[in-house]
């Protein structure tokens, strides 16, 4: 039985970059019949470290970005629960409590979440030895808007928005994108997430920049994608277009689209006996992670 030893570490040792002097208004609630942990008003980002049993650890690690439309974080079924599953497989997991974009707390809210994702990748690479991690097997995972953040980290890693004086690679080695927001286009984008990150009236250039299906190239990491065809919140085309972009660039991507399941089902789509998390395990094994 895994002990799920966890440590919470502040993401930044000193002051948080790109932040305004404000009081910490973070709060948590448990919502819905499943008592999902929802974290509000995050302005002090952190990483929660989930270490597998020493004898089980295989050197792979994953940074997990919960969803929440860039307005809250759904931190249990899209965070802690998933981390524990990875620990069962011998994978070290980190749940990223990233900042919610907000003009009250940030100088430039558009880059705040990406700063936190890049800082998380940098931290895990720099401290890989300490956590018994292979620095070339660090993935990023995101659900819904967390999938937008994870896919931004996986397509914008050359656009460095943090202090990186040691030139640590900020490229994740693989991406896991679960019912992800990918596009900010008018036709298929999740406009709530777009409004929260870029504001109500973003320029065409900004929409394109953060439509990550348009940012794929031959150096983009491999991706594993899951979506439901009847997702009424984030259109399934978000995953399809990202998959197609990886295909065009000959990147080993895998996609699972279920006929039903809606949005926000976490690890368990209640409409099917198939467990996508097991498909993910197979994919990671095939790629050597």
Tens place of pLDDT per residue across the chain (289 aa): 344 567 999 999 989 999 999 999 989 999 888 888 889 999 999 999 999 998 999 999 999 999 999 999 999 899 999 999 999 999 999 999 999 999 999 999 999 999 999 999 999 999 999 999 999 999 999 999 999 999 999 999 999 999 999 999 999 999 999 999 999 999 999 999 999 999 999 999 999 999 999 999 999 999 999 999 999 999 999 999 999 999 999 999 999 999 999 999 999 999 999 999 999 999 999 999 9
Cα–Cα dist 241/49, whole Å:
32
Greatest C-alpha distance within the chain? 52
Cα–Cα dist 55/178, whole Å:
29
Cα–Cα dist 150/252, whole Å:
17
Token duo for residue 118: 């890049």
Roughly what angle, to the nearest 10 degrees, separates helices 112-126 and 145-155? Answer: 60
Cα–Cα dist 95/82, whole Å:
9
Q: Which residue has the tokens 């049993």?
A: 53
Report field, pTM of the whole predicted structure over 0.75: yes
Q: What pairing do the DSSP bridges indicate for beta strands 46-51 and 92-97? A: antiparallel
Q: Which residues contact 222 (CB under 8 A, 6 or more apart)?
A: 174, 175, 246, 251, 252, 253, 287
In this structure, what are the phi and psi dihedrals at residue 18, rounded to the nearest 5 degrees?
60, 25
CATH code, residues 5-286: 3.40.50.1820
Q: Mapping DSSP to helix (H, G, I), strand (E, B) and coil, where does residue 226 land?
A: strand
Which neighbouring-strand residues pair with 90? none
Is 64 within 8 Å of 94 (Cβ atoms)? yes
Q: Give the pLDDT of residue 5.
A: 60
């Amino acid at each position: 039985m895994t002990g799920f030893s966890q440590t919470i570490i502040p993401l930044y040792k000193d002051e948080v970059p790109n932040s305004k002097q404000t009081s910490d208004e973070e709060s948590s609630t448990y919502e819905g019949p499943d008592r999902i942990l929802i974290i509000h008003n995050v302005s002090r980002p952190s990483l929660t470290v989930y270490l597998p049993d020493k004898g089980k650890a295989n050197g792979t690690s994953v940074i997990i970005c919960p969803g929440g439309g860039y307005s809250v974080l759904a931190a249990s079924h899209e965070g802690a629960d998933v981390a524990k599953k990875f620990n069962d497989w011998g994978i070290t997991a980190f749940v990223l409590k990233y900042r919610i974009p907000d003009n009250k707390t940030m100088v430039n809210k558009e880059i705040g979440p990406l700063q936190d994702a890049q800082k998380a990748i940098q931290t895990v690479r720099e401290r890989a030895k300490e956590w018994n991690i292979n620095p070339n097997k660090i993935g990023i995972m995101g659900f819904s808007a967390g999938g937008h953040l994870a896919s931004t980290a996986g397509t914008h890693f050359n656009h460095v928005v943090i202090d990186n004086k040691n030139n640590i690679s900020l490229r994740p080695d693989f991406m896991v994108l679960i019912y992800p927001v990918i596009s900010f286009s008018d036709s298929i984008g999740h406009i709530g997430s777009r409004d929260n990150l870029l504001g109500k009236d973003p320029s065409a250039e900004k929409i394109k920049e953060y439509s990550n299906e348009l940012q794929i190239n031959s150096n983009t990491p491999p991706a594993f994608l899951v979506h439901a065809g009847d997702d009424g919140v984030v259109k399934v085309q978000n995953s399809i277009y990202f998959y197609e972009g990886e295909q065009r660039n000959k990147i080993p991507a895998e996609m699972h689209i279920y006929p039903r399941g809606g949005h926000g089902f976490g690890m368990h789509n209640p409409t099917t006996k198939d467990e996508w998390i097991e498909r993910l395990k197979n994919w990671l094994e095939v790629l050597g992670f």
